[in-house]
Structure 1
Amino acid sequence: MTVSLLVPSSLVREAEDKREATRKIGYVARAATVFRADRLTVFPDAEGERRWGGGFVETVLRYAATPPYLRKEAWGRRDELEYAGILPPLLASSQTGSGSDGPGSTRQGIVTEVGPDGRVRVNCGMQHPISLGVPPGMEVTEGERVTVRISSREPVRAKLVETPLPGFSVERADLEEALGREDAGVRIATSRFGENLTTSRIGTLAGRVRSEGTTVAFGAPERGLPAMLDGVSVEDVAPEGQRGGGDAVPAESESSDGGDSSRIDVESDAPNRFDLWLNTVPNQGSEVVRTEEAMFASLACLTLPE
């Protein structure tokens, strides 16, 4: 099961300065980590961007997803990371193994040197880079991120393994490309115009997510997903400035709104469109539900266990 999250390049369009933009991105990274997202994709929304666009958002997200012990080597000094010190710690845990320092734990490393003898040197936060053999059939290159399983720290005993890295990966891709992936699972758009998420729907929807995986997309401040997509109509648009977070409902489900004209026309079964539109904050008490808040609200429901 793969959990992919999609956020627009206009994510921090309302931020007053770089510090506030960095803080907001940090909360998005926290949401992805808390709910064990596998991938966080930044899709283009050039019309909605202001001072900081997709390159800034992607860089800060990648930095946040990098373990602290690798950040200096991996990133050095960059203008986009001026306020990286305020990012909240992610403390991403592996699906297997013990804590980050215990025997049998896995850690992320960076290959610093590839030798001719089937061995590589890897910086994985130990006192010095360690020399490791490359397993048969595994290919690594200098600068590549790898997973290291540590069985002992004194003396150091470790090996390269092909298990997924803890935390999430970050990429930039068009929305159509992200929705068309083979592992996209249930493709969900969040919007205040979507079907209200109710207790009766959570069980079925969460079950589909557990079995099929999911791709969940979120909008930007004052600019929801309908405004970013061609071919999606909203017949009754809410007053300007009123915005909120939301989700989607199974396309095969019958709408419970009795034909409310404020609902979105869902183009189901199209490879570049969503299966579901859902409002996960149906009774919001604030005129504004920020993107990062909508992420926590949505993922808390969609990832519920049986």
Structure 2
Amino acid sequence: MTRTVLVPSSLVRESRDKREATRKLGYVARAATVFRIDRLLVFPDREGERRWDDGFVRTVLAYAATPPYLRKEAWGRREELECVGVLPPLRAVAQTGSESDGSGSLRQGIVTEVGPDGRVRVNCGLQHPASLLVPPGMAVEEGERVTIRVSSRRPLRARIVDESPPGLSVWAEELETALSRDDAGVRIAASRHGEELDATRLGELAPRVRDGFTAVFGSPERGLPEILGVHPPRVDPRDEQWSPESDHESPGDAPDGTRSHEPAARFDLWLNTVPHQGSEVVRTEEALFATLACLNLR
């Protein structure tokens, strides 16, 4: 099960200064962490960008997702990170393995030194860097991030494992590419023009998103219809509504079973998770909390 969230590079287009933009991105990263999102991707919206571009958005989000004990070594000093002191702490829970008593937690580490004997020194946030063996067939370089499984801290027992680093991953990706992934799951466009979510629809949706989903959000004053060039009436509830039984039927399906290459057509559902909103504008970070809270229900 993979949970993916996409936000546009124009996410902080209305921010007055770097401090405000950084704080906004911090709440986006926090929403993704609270609801155990695996991938937080930034897709390009060049027309909507103003002072802050995709490089700034991606860098701040990736910094926020980095464990605090690795931030200084991983990022150093960068212009984009001048105001990271305002970021809210994510406090992500540890991912544990199958060992007894809750041991065997996964941690991120950074290789600080590569030795000639198949061992490397790794900073993984413990009291001292650990000297660990590199698994057979695995090559690592200085500065590379690795995944460490720690089964005991006193005495230290840890090993490098050939797995993806735990926690939230952040990178840039084209919207079309993200929606085309084999593990995209249910593809959801979050929009005030979408179908209003109610108890009945939520009950139908919950079993499907349990196997994974990809949720896409717009930016201030530029919702997904504006970003994708879709007129709002085209994304209102359709005559043939999506249902749990329509696994292979969506607005993006062609008669021969292939998928359309138009990003707007690749969504399985346009969803409004804040029906009857009391504010003229729902901010992106607010929409994330509202949408992901619904998708998190079992």
Q: Tell me, in whole angstroms, the C-alpha distance in 1 between the residues paired with 2:19 and 2:81.
A: 10
Find out whether 1:270 has 2:260 as its counterpart: yes
Q: Tell me, in whole angstroms, the C-alpha distance in 1 between the residues paired with 2:220 and 2:198.
A: 24
Residue of structure 2 in register with 1:195 after alignment? 195
| 1:70 CA drift (Å) | 0.6
CA contact under 8 A between 1:192 and 1:278: conserved in structure 2? yes
SS at match of 1:200: helix
CA contact under 8 A between 1:2 and 1:38: conserved in structure 2? yes
CA contact under 8 A between 1:191 and 1:248: conserved in structure 2? no
- TM-score under structure 2 normalisation? 0.87
CA contact under 8 A between 1:94 and 1:165: conserved in structure 2? no
| 1:144 CA drift (Å) | 1.9
- Where structure 1 has 5 or more consecutive residues not aligned to the other structure, the ranges are 237-246, 256-264
Residue of structure 2 in register with 1:8 after alignment? 8
Q: Tell me, in whole angstroms, the C-alpha distance in 1 between the residues paired with 2:240 and 2:139.
A: 44
| Correspondent of 1:295 among 263, 272, 288 | 288
Find out whether 1:85 has 2:97 as its counterpart: no
Residue of structure 2 in register with 1:160 after alignment? 160
Q: Classify 1:186/1:91 alpha carbon distance in 2 versus 1 (closer, same or farther; 3 Å).
A: same
Residue of structure 2 in register with 1:233 after alignment? 231
- TM-score under structure 1 normalisation? 0.85
Find out whether 1:304 has 2:297 as its counterpart: yes
For 1:235-256, what per-residue CA distance to the aligned partner results, in whole angstroms no more than 9, with x for missing partners? 49xxxxxxxxxx998995269x
Q: Tell me, in whole angstroms, the C-alpha distance in 2 between the residues paired with 1:201 and 1:235.
A: 20
SS at match of 1:187: strand
| 1:267 CA drift (Å) | 4.2
| 1:18 CA drift (Å) | 0.5
| 1:126 CA drift (Å) | 2.1
Residue of structure 2 in register with 1:122 after alignment? 122
Q: Percent identity between the aligned chains?
A: 69
* Aligned-residue RMSD, C-alpha: 2.4
Residue of structure 1 in register with 2:207 after alignment? 207
CA contact under 8 A between 1:248 and 1:279: conserved in structure 2? no
- Where structure 2 has 5 or more consecutive residues not aligned to the other structure, the ranges are 244-249, 254-258
Residue of structure 2 in register with 1:281 after alignment? 274
For 1:57-111, what per-residue CA distance to the aligned partner results, in whole angstroms no more than 9, with x for missing partners? 000001001111111111111111111011011111234249xxx8432211011
CA contact under 8 A between 1:197 and 1:249: conserved in structure 2? no
Residue of structure 2 in register with 1:110 after alignment? 110
Give the AA of the match of 1:229: L
Residue of structure 2 in register with 1:221 after alignment? 220
| 1:125 CA drift (Å) | 1.2
| 1:303 CA drift (Å) | 1.8
Q: Tell me, in whole angstroms, the C-alpha distance in 2 between the residues paired with 1:79 and 1:46.
A: 21
Paired residues, number: 281
| 1:157 CA drift (Å) | 1.7
Q: Tell me, in whole angstroms, the C-alpha distance in 1 between the residues paired with 2:177 and 2:25.
A: 23
Give the AA of the match of 1:191: S
Q: Tell me, in whole angstroms, the C-alpha distance in 2 between the residues paired with 1:66 and 1:252.
A: 43
CA contact under 8 A between 2:95 and 2:106: conserved in structure 1? no
SS at match of 1:208: helix
Residue of structure 1 in register with 2:247 after alignment? none
| 1:134 CA drift (Å) | 1.5
SS at match of 2:260: coil
For 1:20-65, what per-residue CA distance to the aligned partner results, in whole angstroms no more than 9, with x for missing partners? 0000000000011011111011000011011111100000001001
Q: Classify 1:292/1:250 alpha carbon distance in 2 versus 1 (closer, same or farther; 3 Å).
A: farther
Q: Tell me, in whole angstroms, the C-alpha distance in 2 between the residues paired with 1:251 and 1:182.
A: 27
Q: Tell me, in whole angstroms, the C-alpha distance in 2 between the residues paired with 1:69 and 1:34.
A: 20
CA contact under 8 A between 1:189 and 1:248: conserved in structure 2? no
